[in-house]
Amino acid sequence: MNATLLKRLFRAIHSGSGQDVETLCRRIVDEEKKLGHERVAEDLGLILNKVSGSKSERQPASSTQAGALAPLPTSRRDSAPLFHEVTLGGLRHDMVLPPAVESRFQRIEKELAARSRLATFGLKPRQRILLYGPPGCGKSLGAERLAWNTGLNLLKVRFDTLLSSYFGETLTNLRRVFDAAAAAPCALFLDECDTLARSRTERNDVGEVNRITNALLEMLENYQGQGLVIAATNLDSSLDSALFRRFDEVLKIPLPAISEIYRLLTTTMAALPTEKSIKWKEVARDMDGMSCSEVVQVGQNAAKHSVLEGRKTISAEDIRFALDEIHERLHQAP
């Protein structure tokens, strides 16, 4: 059973907070379900429902809602949220990856699901994950996919509120972020982590930058939560070399190969039928070198063009229109 939840339950009992006790009990029931202990979860749920029912008969319902036990942390200066939370229902999870990369994603997910069995043998699952690759390759989607397949909400760090010009405040905010991630199972997502982890050997760095990098390294190494910490970056050369050693898994997300471009396109346009005359190999070759996000955009724009033209089938002309459109935009980009 989740040791963090048990500790919080005992603290809630000691403080006499009935609402917090009930919230934690429900989280324990959910945790048992995730571990596959269906019978235990069912028995605990029945007991909890009986207790809740008898309590509601004796006293009016509290206006405090379950789940208010641990509000997300905010910036100390202006109370702005340090996270953007994405619950399971809002997560994207369909990815098209090369087989070797896909198998490494699956291994992370399987290990976290089997953490209790691994613990029996003194083993720990991979929990600290670094994703890197060119812009648009699917790093953010990879973080969402990992959260979805492990049943965790995604907490995406907001660097606009985390970073502060005031001395020491960024470090304080960073500690609050990791404390929140350790308090309850979640997938903590540090997108563009090079914002925090620039190499300490860069000449223009000041002492505060070094302190932030050192603190991040320490917090990653000491992370004891039940979920995942996922970091993503476009650039690996500017990252502090010590950062790579703090992760259990470092995954490069490549640009899609021609076979993956075909799968991405057909998946994106699955809502509409496509003409049988489309030469998919030629289309995919024309898109070689594009990022995942660009391929998806071509598929979406082709489908929209077909609908706007009053057709119910995507044609080769729709795909060519979308391709020309994105090529023109890429050519105009600075």
Query: From CA 174, how far away is CA 73, in angstroms rounded?
Result: 10
**CA gap 146, 91 in Å, rounded:** 10
* Side chain identity, residue 94: D
306-310: long-range pairs with CB below 8 Å, 24+:
306/272, 307/272
Domain 258-332 coded CATH 1.10.8.60: yes
- For residue 63, what pLDDT is reported? 37
Tell me the C-alpha distance between 92 and 81, whole Å.
23
pLDDT tens, 244-263?
Answer: 889 999 999 999 999 999 99
- The CA distance from 330 to 100, in Å, is 30
Per-residue burial over 66-84, b = 16 or more CB atoms within 10 Å of its CB, e = otherwise: eeebeeebebeeeeeebbe
Alpha helix positions (H), 150-291 = 159-162, 169-183, 207-221, 241-245, 258-268, 280-286
Q: What residues in the chain have per-residue pLDDT under 50?
A: 55-69, 203
For tokens 């302190």, the residue is: 211
For the chain, give every residue range classified as CATH 1.10.8.60. 258-332
What token pair was written down for 198? Answer: 């620039």
pLDDT for position 307: 96
Residue 106, both tokens: 């699956």
Token output for 171: 């470090």
What pLDDT score does 64 carry? 36
Would you state the pLDDT for residue 68? 39
For the whole model, what pTM was predicted? 0.72
**Which residue, 201, 230, 196, 229, is CA-closest to 213?**
196
Q: Whole-angstrom Cα distance, residue 139 to residue 235?
A: 12
Residue ranges, CATH 3.40.50.300, the chain = 83-252
| In contact, 276 and 249? CB cutoff 8 Å | no
CATH of 83-252, one of 3.50.50.60, 3.40.50.300, 2.40.50.140, 3.20.20.70: 3.40.50.300
Listing DSSP states for 236-259 in one string gives STTB-HHHHHT-SEEEE-PPP-HH
Q: Which of 255, 254, 278 is nearest to 266 (CA)?
A: 278
CB 49 within 8 A of CB 43: no
pLDDT recorded at residue 329: 78
CA distance 321 to 128: 42
Report the alpha-carbon distance of residue 131 to residue 140 in Å, rounded: 9
- The reported pLDDT for the residue numbered 154 is 95
